Amino acid sequence: MIKRKFKVNRKEPAKRIDQMNKAELTKLRDYATFMSNAAGYADDGGQQNWWISVENECDSLIKSLP
C-alpha cells in the first residue's frame, strides 16, 4: 500500500489512494501513466517504477470497487 497522499481535485485536501472514489482513482491512474512515460523518456528507472506501482495499485482498487 502506498502511503503518500495525492491531491486530485484542487478544492479538496490530499487523500491516500485507499480513500479515493472511482473517478479520483481513474484521474490519478491516468496521471501516473503520463508520469511513468515521462520518466521513461528521461531514463529515470526509479521514478518510472514508482509511478508504475501507483498505476497498478489504482487499477487494482478500481477493479475492486462496485
* Interatomic CA distance for residues 41 and 66, integer angstroms: 35
Write the pLDDT tens digit of every residue in 4-21. 899 898 888 999 998 999
* Interatomic CA distance for residues 5 and 60, integer angstroms: 17
Show the beta-strand stretches assigned E in the chain.
5-6, 15-16
Write the pLDDT tens digit of every residue in 16-65. 998 999 999 999 999 999 999 998 888 887 888 999 999 999 999 999 98
Position 41 scores a pLDDT of 87
The angle, 0 to 180 degrees and rounded to 10, between the axes of the packed helices 45-64 and 22-41 is: 160
What is the reported pTM?
0.84
